Structure 1
Amino acid sequence: MGAQIFCTMPGGEEAEAYLAGDRGPGVLFYMDAIGLRPQIERMAERIASWGYVVLAPNVFWRDGAAADLAPEQDLTVPENRKAFFANGVMRRVRSMAPERIDADADVWLSVLREADGVADGPIGTTGYCFGGRLALRTAAHRPDDVAVVGMFHTGGIVVEGADSPHLVVPQVRALVLAGHAAGDRSNTPKQIAAFEEALTAAGVRHRSAIYPRAEHGFTMADTSSYQEAGAERHFAELRAALEEELGVVDEGPTGSGNMEA
């Protein structure tokens, strides 16, 4: 099982994170807008079980501890989920300006690289909801470190303005895996097409798919948006991409820890 750890941020404040896995390549897991909670920990554990060390930080650390920001009601009830998002969540999301994302990413990557059992070499990022934007930006900010990016039910990838996430695509050298939700009002077919066009124009290797009948948040089993078929598909596709780009630790008969591509 994983454990809660604390990361020292610029200025000396501490941010909590969940660290899972014993050994293998590193994976930086960017949570959705609901926050760091048991569902995120379960997902991190599953990815770690494939042979990775996974760090899932509380990216809203400036706003409070994960427990303080966590929902108090059952979000599998649609009305509760809607009420939760109407209570300051989007303000926290909007506070994640590019300079904040980049500064935090430097800390997350340093902590991940220094964690016990993390293999030398590139790492992967995977992000959910707005976390997909953070995963993409981290790959652009640290292209020598990030070899694969997972982005699932990510809204607002292509928007008006100089801070639109898709504008960092030319700096990305990683494989980008994008799983879009068919029923996502924050990521329309027009936006999906524009993102695809940006990836292609920049020569970024990518795989993208629109998951049928899936809503924004379809991977999150603790909410009313959960779709089991889409969630399981995402795990399968993410696992394949991670293994392709990062390899896994080959325990072998002696547990030697050789890397297998």
Structure 2
Amino acid sequence: MPTETLTIATPDGRADAFAAFPDGGGTHPGVLLYTDAFGVRPELEGKARELAAHGYCVLVPNLYYRHGPAPVTELPAHIGEEVRPALIERLMPLIQEHTTDRILRDAEAYLAFLTDRPEVAPGPVGVVGYCLGAALAVRTATAHPGLVGAVAGFHPGFLVTDAPDSPHRRIPELTAEVHIGLAEGDMTPEDLSALDRALQAAGVDHTTEVYPGTVHGFTMSDTDAFDASALRHHWDRLLPLLERALTRR
């Protein structure tokens, strides 16, 4: 399977990224994949390869490129609960600096780069995000409704907040089909209700689903949160979504 480490020009610098492409050449739908808080690493590269094996050209940018190439902080092979708090403490300033303006500038650069690749077919693209990446996926989809045909977020963070520019407030502008897969405790009932109301207002096909018995981070096999059955369920939701929205048009 062809993979590359790439550099993407953005208004704020040059972002390093991992990309995976299907075997056999030709053109295929594009997918922009946003990482969780821990960033680009073998776990996320594996998810990109899995999507490429199903016929998608996948771009995984380093969200923290303004602070250096991935990984911007040293990561253990397994992110156990004994080290997770210290890692989050180191990364939180970077997350807080990743403002809505930065997210949208980056998203435009990433989408332009992805859709300009010769391997990427014309037509809608998908955007997928994990943890904080789910919020970035929604922001990207609402800012580019004519381009993004599918958006999926798993164990989301920062998707519904009290901020005036909370991602969920722009959801009525969506045109993409949506799936949000939550761990138990990812959202309060009130926040989940606000998310559902926003999706209903958008008038798009959508599902929000709490994956039973899971904790935040359940798709990530390099963490203690990993749940193998929930990961399979995530693929069972994500792959049909991408096929419906990106390959049947």
Deviation, 1:215, is 0.8
Q: Distance in 2 between matches of 1:10 and 1:159?
A: 27
Partner of 1:79: 82
Partner of 2:126: 124
2:226 match: secondary structure? coil
Segments of 5+ residues of structure 1 without an aligned counterpart are 248-259
Partner of 2:210: 210
Deviation, 1:70, is 4.1
Deviation, 1:202, is 2.9
Q: Distance in 1 between matches of 2:96 and 2:231?
A: 26
Partner of 1:110: 112
- Considering only aligned residues, what root-mean-square deviation do their CA atoms show, in Å? 1.4
Give the letter for the 1:174 counterpart.
A
CA shift digits 1:135-169 (9 cap, x unpaired):
00101111100000001000222111212110010
TM-score (norm 2): 0.93
Question: Is 1:158 the equivalent of 2:160?
Answer: yes
Deviation, 1:205, is 2.1
Q: 1:92 aligns with which of 94, 111, 114?
A: 94
- Comparing 30-39 and 187-196, the one that deviates more: 187-196
- Comparing 189-198 and 205-214, the one that deviates more: 189-198
Percent sequence identity over matched residues? 38
Partner of 2:236: 236
User: In the alignment, is the contact (CA less than 8 A) between 1:20 and 1:44 conserved in 2?
Assistant: yes
List structure 1 segments (4+ residues) > 4 angstroms apart after TM superposition: none
Partner of 1:33: 37
1:125 match: secondary structure? strand
Q: Distance in 1 between matches of 2:185 and 2:226?
A: 12
Q: Distance in 2 between matches of 1:202 and 1:129?
A: 22
User: In the alignment, is the contact (CA less than 8 A) between 1:133 and 1:151 conserved in 2?
Assistant: yes
Segments of 5+ residues of structure 2 without an aligned counterpart are none
TM-score (norm 1): 0.89
Question: Is 1:246 the equivalent of 2:246?
Answer: yes
Give the letter for the 2:201 counterpart.
A
Q: 1:70 to 1:172 in 2, by over 3 A?
A: farther
Partner of 1:181: 183
Q: Distance in 2 between matches of 1:33 and 1:60?
A: 10
State the aligned residue count.
Answer: 244
User: In the alignment, is the contact (CA less than 8 A) between 1:7 and 1:14 conserved in 2?
Assistant: yes
Q: Distance in 1 between matches of 2:126 and 2:77?
A: 32
Q: Distance in 2 between matches of 1:73 and 1:24?
A: 32
